[in-house]
Structure formats: structure tokens, C-alpha cells
Structure 1
Amino acid sequence: MAILQVLFTQLMNTLNFLKENSITHCDIKPENLMVEISENENNPLLKIVDFGSADCNKDKHCSYSVTIDLEFTAPELLHFPPQVSNAADIWSAGAVLYILLSGVSPFLDESVEETTAHVLNQDFSFPEEYFSHITESAKELICSILTLDIPTRLTPLESLHSSWIKQDMSNVTIQTAIFKHFIQRHGLTQHIFLSLNN
């Protein structure tokens, strides 16, 4: 299993744990995904940090008032009142996976209004210049996560059964140079991208 599959599997397992404990992180993005790399670089450990926006939604009465990073925000969080659920975290994870595969954001545009419109309309595509090397199974997984219809959006457990997760990608190398612009734009120093260098 390629390192990206390992990290995404760990992310889905963690989101499933949060779901089982009625916790929504509400701010899944590369800046909040740290990877601990031991001497054995083949066994990275992904950790989700910054639970400052997290919502414990056991009573189903949620409040959500934080500064959000639009390109990773689920559309249901942009409505009033926002619909906070674990499905929002899986959407954000789908946006992160898109970036990890291509180096570009699925929804980001030149203005807040344009970015918001892209998110609310599920307006994204797979440009050939960024996705020519990406398998159809990876694209199918992203599409199954980045869907406006919450009941049909994949859960973390369902994502773990996707054909992309099971696909042998041990010989696939991610060209980390594709992340340069994204890293510079976000001013990142420590982040998940560092773990993809091997």
C-alpha cells in the first residue's frame, strides 16, 4: 500500500472514531493533519490536531461559529443555520485527498464569492494537466465523498472499502513538487505533505 493510501486509511479510521463518539472536528485541512515519522519511514502515523472548532453533537443541537477555510468546508456548513455532522468532516477529507493527488484545490477561486459558489454547487472537475496520472478509482472515491447529497455521501467506513484503497499502488510515486504552490499560499512549515517525500 502506498504511503498516501496508508495516510488516508488512518484519516478515515480516525474520522470513524470521532463519528462513533459523536464528535465533529469541523476543520479538517492539511494544516491540521500532522504526520509522525519514525525511524521506519514505512509506518507513518497521522494525527488530527486543533480541535478548537470541534462540536460534540450528541444532543443534535449544534452551534458552529468559527472562521472557516472555505476550500475545505462542506456546503451544509455554509447555510444558516449550519448543519453540523460528521458528514462535513468526510467532505473536508475528500477535498484534502483531491489536493494530495493533484497539488491543486478542487474549489478555490480568485474570490470568496466564487469559491463559495463552487462549494455550494459541487463545482469541481479533474483537469487533465493535474489528473492524467490519477486512476479512475481515485476519482470515483473523490466524487463519492464530494457530493451535496449528505445521505449518499460516503462514510469513513464506506471509504475504507473503496477500490482505490485496495488498489496496489506500491510502485506509484507522488511528485511532491506539485505541492509547492499550495504550501507557499498557505504558509505551511509542518504538514502532511512532508511525509510524502519517500
Structure 2
Amino acid sequence: MFCSSEEVSDVAACSKRRVTEEDPVKDDLKKSRVEESEVENTDGQVVEGGGQQASRSDEVKAEVSPAIWFLLSSVTFYPFYLFFFAMSSDSSPPPLAPFDHRIVTPKPHQIATYYTINRDEVLGGGRFGQVHKCMENSSGLMLAAKIIKARSQKEKEVVRNEIQVMNQLNHANLIQLYAAFESRHDIILVMEYVEGGELFDRIIDENYNLTELDTVLFIRQICEGLQYMHKMYILHLDLKPENILCVSRATNKIKIIDFGLARRYKPREKLRVNFGTPEFLAPEVVNYEFVSFPTDMWSLGVISYMLLSGLSPFLGDDDNETLNNILACQWNFEEEEFTDISDEAKDFITRLLVKSKSWRLSATESLKHPWLSDQSLHYRLNQKVVKSHDINLFF
């Protein structure tokens, strides 16, 4: 354990349950638990859930005889190692949205005048409603339409907050807003469409071999998106693998989505929140204390742990046990899934899953940490991948 448990008594041992598609907690993971948010001297707002776009990739395995493999490895494969390393350690940003950044204001018009929504193709959903693939009639541009149920004025104000947040965010690792339409019963956000599915799906897919180097690339991009958001004084407050989309099935490029719970950080107003998915909540959220930039960084530590192991560090048998585990900061690297994980990765997580938020790495500091920045380490991690492929192909 890395934190004191003085403030929590009689807490059960941390249960690091493996997250699988059959696990009943998957449904809870998919939804944000939204109660209320409060700023001192300011009325709170309520919002529900995030939209996701999902798809699944298939793995293709080739069989090569030992003799042919020996010839390949001795004659041509060393240059391929270098090529493979260059490809797998690619740190270039994901492609920009296929449109310039826009300042969007909800239109009172009928969306059908401008867009064709494929109601039969659901990309994701939650308590808020559903996300569908759609097309702009005038250009043929493929987009995603997030249909948010908003009947009351308070519900509409919450969605307008999401729009205002997205209007301020122009970064390759953050999903971009294209248009918005408001009707009597809902508000529809038309957004950039990406086809690679949720990062969550790669965690639970037994056929997808998520390596440590893959995780480095994912986490580095999330950090870059967070660094930009925090420079803009915006907190995401709902970071989890379901809210991170892969640009395509063939790359490790990602975009952060769902700014429905995001808040503008105003130090003098001392923001408190009481929402989120339990196992990703920072201790200050559980204790209803002031939140700030380190609150997002705690969630990043949980995501890093999950990507490396497929385990959830604080997940208990119910929400109450999960929250107690978080307050006790009960976690470790004792599971066998961490046997071959680098010391740098463990150090990175240790510097994020710190109960006192003032001691956590910032997004900028995280990007400078050796786990995300040391090219020689990345080369060694890549060699482990190549050697593993060598053995699989040889046999």
C-alpha cells in the first residue's frame, strides 16, 4: 500500500476484480453516477452520462515454419524490428477533425433539415440517450449525433454547459463539436466521428494483446489532452476508458470524449462535485472536498493500472466497499499481472494514486516522467513485444 488508511476504519481488503465483458460491473462502468455539483455561493447543475462509439477489431495470426523463420530473422527481420519499433512507438498526434474548430450555438431548427441520422446504427449510449452515426446532407460528411434528453430548463442548461466547454477546446486528442440543435424535449450534439471503438473494449477483449508499450502510447496522448484542458482551466471529472475513443482499429491514436461533467476551474470559487463512476473517483470527490487539476490525474492513474493489468485497483463488491478502498488508498502491485511490468510504469502510477492531491504529478510532469518520455525504455519494451512474437511464430 502507498497511502495511510488512518481516516478509514474497518475497511475490507481491496478487491481487484478483473474487468470482463461478462462482468456485471461493466454496465456500471458504462454509466456515470450523477448526483449534484456545487460551487460555493453558486447553484449546482446536474448532468447524466456520456456517449461512446464502439467497434471491435479482429486479430489475424500467421504461421511460419521454423526454417523459414530462421531465414527471415537472420536476413531481413532486423531492419523490420527497427521499422516495427518506429511504427509502434509513433508519438505523432491523431488526425485532426475533418473540419475547422467551431464556436457552436444550439439552433432551434429541425436537425433533419441538415443531417440524416441513422437511427438503426447506435454507436453508444447511457442514461442521457444514444449516439448515432449521421451524415451532413450538403457535404456527405460522416459525423456522430449525441441525442441528449433535456426537457426541463435546468437539464438544458447542463447541456449548454457541455457545449460551452467544447467551444473552448481545440486539440487533436479531444473530440470536436460540429453543430447543435435544440428542441422541446432534447438537445442534439453533432460531433466528429471516429471508428475505432472505446478503449474499454480493448481492455476486455481477450483476443487483443494490450502491451505495456501500447499503454504508454495511450496514456501519453491522454496526458497531452489533459495538459491542454488544464491550461484552459477546464476539468474533465469523468475520465475512464469508456470516455476514450480509438481513432481506428489499426492504430493507438485516441480522442477523449464526453464533457458532460466537465467544469471550468475557478480557484476562488472552490469547486466541489458529487458525481462520477465510483472506481475512478479521487478521494477528494468521495469526501466532498475541493477538486482541481489533480482530480483528473488520479483517474489517469486508475486508467494506467487497468490498461497494464486488466484489473481495477479499487473495485469492491459494491459501491460502498469501492469508496472505502479509495479513501483507504488500498492498492498494490502484488498480482501476477504486474510481474513483467517495468519499474518505471509502477513508479508512474505510484506518483498519481496519492491520497493528498497536492503530491500527484501534473499532466505536464507526467509527460516528462521516464515511463512516457524515455525512448531507450520504449525500445526495450518494444523488444519484449518482438521477442514474444518471435516465440509465437517459431512454435
Q: Is the TM-score greater than 0.5?
A: yes
What is the aligned counterpart of 2:362 among 155, 162, 180? 155
Tell whether 2:29 aligns with 1:29.
no
**Other-structure match for 1:15:** 226
1:170 aligns with 2:377: no
1:32-55, Cα deviation, whole Å (9 max, x unpaired): 0111027xx45x321111111101
Cα 1:132–1:120, aligned 2, differ >3 Å: closer, same or farther?
Answer: same
Deviations, residues 113-172 of structure 1 (Å, cap 9, x unaligned): 211111111110112322111111111110000001212100011111112122222234
In the alignment, the residues of structure 2 paired with residue 9 and residue 131 of structure 1 have an alpha-carbon distance, to the nearest angstrom, of 20
Q: Secondary structure of 2:351's match? A: helix
Do the aligned residues in 1 keep the contact of 2:274 with 2:286 (CA within 8 Å)? no
Residues 7-156 of structure 1 aligned to structure 2 (within 5 Å): 7-37=218-248, 41-42=250-251, 44-58=252-266, 60-61=268-269, 62-66=271-275, 68-80=276-288, 82-156=289-363
Report the alpha carbon displacement of residue 65 of structure 1 after superposing the two structures with TM.
3.9
Provide the secondary structure at the position in 2 that maps to 1:87.
helix
Please identify which structure carries the higher strand content: 2
Residue deviations 1:75-134 (CA, integer Å, cap 9, x gap):
101113x32211111100110000000000010011222111111111101123221111
Rounded Cα–Cα distance in structure 2 between residues aligned with 1:12 and 1:172? 24
**Offset at 1:58?**
2.7
Aligned counterparts of 1:163 and 1:59: Cα–Cα separation in 2: 31
Q: State the match for 1:176 in structure 2.
A: none
Residues in 2 aligned to 1:97 and 1:172: alpha-carbon distance in whole angstroms: 19
**Count of aligned pairs:** 168
* CA distance, structure 2, for counterparts of residue 151 and residue 59 of structure 1: 14
Cα distance in 1 for partners of 2:222, 2:335 equals 27
Secondary structure in 1 matching 2:266 = coil
Question: For the Cα contact (< 8 Å) 2:306–2:312, is it kept in 1?
Answer: yes
Structure 1 residue 60: deviation in Å? 3.9
Unaligned runs of 5+ in 1: 174-198
Q: Which has the higher mean CA deviation after the structures are superposed, 102-111 or 126-135?
A: 126-135
Report the counterpart of residue 168 of structure 2 in structure 1. none
Q: 1:111 to 1:50 in 2, by over 3 A?
A: same
Give unmatched runs, 5+ long, in structure 2. Answer: 1-88, 90-212, 386-395
> SS of the residue aligned with 2:237?
coil
Deviation at 1:69, TM superposition (A): 0.9
Q: TM-score, normalized by length of structure 2?
A: 0.41
Deviations 1:148-197 (A, max 9, x none): 12121000111111121222222344xxxxxxxxxxxxxxxxxxxxxxxx
Paired residue secondary structure (1:34)? strand
- Shift, 1:59, TM fit: 5.0
Q: Percent identity?
A: 32
Q: Within 1, Cα distance between the matches of 2:349 and 2:272?
A: 28
Q: Which has the higher contact order (CA 8 A, sep 6+)?
A: 1
Deviation at 1:63, TM superposition (A): 4.7
Provide closer, same or farther for how the CA distance between residues 31 and 139 of structure 1 changes in structure 2, counting only shifts above 3 A: same
Distance 1:10 1:107 in 2: 24
Q: CA–CA distance in 2 between the matches of 1:11 and 1:113?
A: 29
